[in-house]
A and B are shown apart, each in its own frame.
Chain A
Amino acid sequence: MEYVIEMLNIRKEFNGFVANDNITLQVKKGEIHALLGENGAGKSTLMNVLFGLYQPEQGEIRVKEKPVKISNPNIANDLGIGMVHQHFMLVDVFTVTENIILGKEITSAGRIDLKKAEREVREISERYGLAVDPKAKISDISVGMQQRVEILKTLYRGAEILIFDEPTAVLTPQEIKELIQIMKTLIKEGKSIILITHKLKEIMEVADRCTVIRKGQGIGTVNVSETNQNELASLMVGRQVVFKTEKIPSNPKEEVLKIENLVVKDSRGITAVNGLDLTVRAGEIVGIAGVDGNGQSEFIEAITGLRKSEHGSVKVRGKELLGLNPRKINESGVGHIPQDRHKHGLVLNYPIGENMVLQTYYKKPLSKNGILNFKEIYNKARKLISEFDVRTPSEFTLARALSGGNQQKAIIGREVDRNPDLLIAAQPTRGLDVGAIEFIHKRLIEQRDNGKAVLLVSFELDEIMNVSDRIAVIFEGRIVAVVDPKDTTEQELGLLMAGSSRKEAGESTHV
């Protein structure tokens, strides 16, 4: 049995905190090896050890059965290890080729030989079926394409072992399919892949074997063909995980949110929301299904006051929201879990405790006569932190230092605590592990059961199907269909999301 990479009994500590404890990872040549673990389980630390960014306190790394010491990323590169980062490291204004050769420029007489470089890039691109245009500018190509450029970059540097760090987090379903195809091609061409992820579905689909780590400990390695999603999930979390969220049937009451003929332009001035109508009633969760870029972000930003609308009407309990600023909308009973928690949801350099009062700091008893009452603020923060199981060393820890799941729990705690009539959740589980997803879904349903209206926007069909009481499909800025999750299928939704009418969609799935 030939291993290309062996990490044996790796231990890595940070100031007394054990991030990796006795983890063993063995990757065979020509396999896709998944590395599975919750957020903060130590996946990234382990990969950074392999990539030479951290030095392990204990353990041994072998590449092709030879013990090696990887003290910096250049050595990792020389050993044929390449990393496709989750956040791309590309220069926007450079072309694909310029990005790829960056740091490894081919020169003749001091000048970059761009022609030759382009030829080489094209060659590699064709060999692995990447279909990348070497002359395109990074800012002009899609996110999926940019990721391929990252892959090309590692291949250009002669990588034999590619590490993919959460590669599907930023991709559309179609792009995910293509990426999986590319990974399979890479394997055929003799490369080996380490896939860092917490998406079980993808592991089942592409990986050959899977190593699970939990809280810094190596749990074990399983053959994917001999396991299933449930087993992987419980290995990862350490307990049984319920995928199908339990919920009682909804009992919708009066209308809370009523949107009529909403028109919103995006930042480039192009109409993104184009005459959207939607109603959400008290005691129900309405899920907005759609492919990214069909106006979801602009739609949410418009009703929460972050973006101007052209015309239309958005009423919450009969009160018109359009034209109001975000503070007035907050005070009108709207809670908003924003899509981008780092951009909108949190002030990362504020303690997590102060983030808990981001919209309410000016109210009594949190402040009086313009003076903040930190005792009250932190009392409230402590209460929410324990109630919503936000794992943080203390309420004074900067929000920046928390893991994504805990940041999200903090935001949800804050929004739910304001007790809004309408809770808007935009991609609330993006990038989170199954444990956190389960928790968040439960909380959303709890809100519904308490008679609140919940509007859920998600690109994950599973989530939409699972949590919603009604599903509204958005396509090109309009709600094109409203369906009951009980009598639809993922396939039908997929077609509706692609712009087919309900009738066509029905015919092609049911016939």
Chain B
Amino acid sequence: MSKRLRNILVPIIAILLGIIVGTIIMVASGYDAVAAYTALWNGAFGNIYYTGEVVRQVTPYILAGLAVAFAFRVGLFNIGVEGQFMVGWLASVWVGLAFHLPKFIHLPLAILASIIAGALWAFIPGLLKARFRIHEVIVTIMMNYVALYVTNYIIQHVITNNADRTPSIPDSASLRSPWLASITDFSRLHWGIVLAIICCFIMWFLLEKTTRGFELRAVGFNQHAAHYAGMSVNKNIILSMVISGAFAGLAGAMEGLGTFGYVATKAAFTGVGFNGIAVALLGANTALGVFFAALLFGALEVGALNMPLAAGVPNELVDIIIALIVFFVASSYLIRWFIERISKKGVK
């Protein structure tokens, strides 16, 4: 069996397994599984409003997935996408509120702010890793907490006077468009999806086609050989974290400038950054894979909202079913192993 075919087959089997086990659980607890899945599908693609919402939800997932995948390709595990996402969100809104400029300057500036904020937030663990070999997983986890509380503080005490959310950004910094809203029955769809797709292309091009990508991947596979070949391992480590953080920060702008148009204090993490890890894994750390994996996650998330309403399945059960699908997807290693065994038997 070719590697490519297997790479496509594995996630499909994972999704099917999730659906099957979900069915068993629903039937066992007395719910109509067919109605539930129909509701899930309709909730995601049943009408144009839902589809608009799916695309909106997919946008930050693509970028968060790219962030995790990019670092991973260079051999780094960026758990800090969540934190970089939050600082990017805050930075975009802050710039959005602080200036009054024409749209063609204001919007790019706000987007740029999110990218720089995310990149800087990731630069710190990158530098610590390169200089002192401090493990990036630990640093980025801690940086997530720092991001959570620092952004909360800034929202409450710097941007506003003890309010829980900022005012909404002016139109000149917004990614929203009346036209996109009108064709999707007034969903919150915004132009960010175009940026996300461009970023997929950038990641692919940068890693696969450039000398820089050649170095980054070489460092990811074998630091010693990269060093021997005259590449600067430390520089590439820092650079990969910075680019990863830039993607994550941009994901924050999707929420700040697109979906919400403001930033509010949070009691806990948003989960976008952590879902990014699952998206990257499911997408095998490639740009195209991340795109499709984000599509799945976004559709599940939005579609599930419809399940309690249309099929009477309680929220908790919906969460379980979503988790099951994610579980099987994440455990695709098991499926891979299983396919290999079967195809080996086939040869014999």
B348 at the interface (CB under 8 A from A): yes
Known interface pairs A348-B222, A349-B221, A358-B218; A338-B228 also in contact (CB < 8 Å): yes
- Nearest A-chain residue to B205, judged by Cβ: A371
Q: Is the interface of B mostly helix, strand, loop or mixed?
A: helix
Known interface pairs A326-B230, A338-B228; A367-B221 also in contact (CB < 8 Å): no
- Complex Cα gap A372–B214 (Å): 8
- Complex Cα gap A62–B225 (Å): 46
Among B214, B221, B225, which residue has its beta carbon within 8 angstroms of that of A345?
A: B225
- Please tell me if the beta carbons of B230 and A359 are within 8 angstroms of each other in the complex: yes
B5 at the interface (CB under 8 A from A): no
- Please tell me if the beta carbons of B227 and A367 are within 8 angstroms of each other in the complex: no
B28 at the interface (CB under 8 A from A): no
Chain A residues with CB below 8 A from B227, complex form: 306, 326, 344
Q: Mark each residue of chain A from 447 to 477: 1 if its CB lies under 8 Å from any CB of chain B, else 0.
A: 0000000000000000000000000000000
Interface residues of A in 309-353 (CB under 8 A from B): 325-331, 336, 338, 343-350
Tell me how many residues of B have a C-beta within 8 Å of chain A.
Answer: 21
- Complex Cα gap A326–B226 (Å): 10
Chain B residues with CB below 8 A from A128, complex form: none
A279 at the interface (CB under 8 A from B): no
Among B212, B218, B347, B348, which residue has its beta carbon within 8 angstroms of that of A350?
A: B218
Among A15, A304, A330, A358, which residue has its beta carbon within 8 angstroms of that of B225?
A: A358
- Please tell me if the beta carbons of A359 and B229 are within 8 angstroms of each other in the complex: yes
Q: Mark each residue of chain B from 221 to 242: 1 if its CB lies under 8 Å from any CB of chain A, else 0.
A: 1101111111110000000000
- Complex Cα gap A348–B229 (Å): 14
- Complex Cα gap A304–B229 (Å): 10
Task: Give the residue among B221, B222, B230 with the most A Cβ atoms within 10 A.
Answer: B230
Tell me how many residues of A have a C-beta within 8 Å of chain B.
Answer: 30
Among B214, B221, B224, which residue has its beta carbon within 8 angstroms of that of A361?
A: B214
- Complex Cα gap A397–B199 (Å): 29
Q: Mark each residue of chain A from 102 to 122: 1 if its CB lies under 8 Å from any CB of chain B, else 0.
A: 000000000000000000000
- Please tell me if the beta carbons of B224 and A344 are within 8 angstroms of each other in the complex: yes
A439 at the interface (CB under 8 A from B): no
- Nearest B-chain residue to A354, judged by Cβ: B214
- Please tell me if the beta carbons of A358 and B229 are within 8 angstroms of each other in the complex: yes
- Complex Cα gap A336–B229 (Å): 10
List, sorted by A's number, 27 A–B pairs whose CB atoms are closer than 8 Å. A15-B347, A306-B227, A306-B228, A325-B232, A326-B229, A327-B230, A329-B230, A330-B229, A331-B230, A343-B224, A344-B228, A346-B222, A346-B225, A347-B218, A347-B226, A348-B221, A348-B222, A350-B217, A354-B214, A358-B229, A362-B211, A367-B210, A370-B210, A371-B209, A371-B211, A372-B209, A372-B210
Q: Which residues of A contact B (CB under 8 A)?
A: 15, 55, 304, 306, 325-331, 336, 338, 343-350, 354, 358-359, 361-362, 367, 370-372
Given contacts A304-B228, A325-B230, A331-B230, 4 further A-B contacts (CB under 8 A): A346-B222, A349-B221, A358-B218, A370-B211
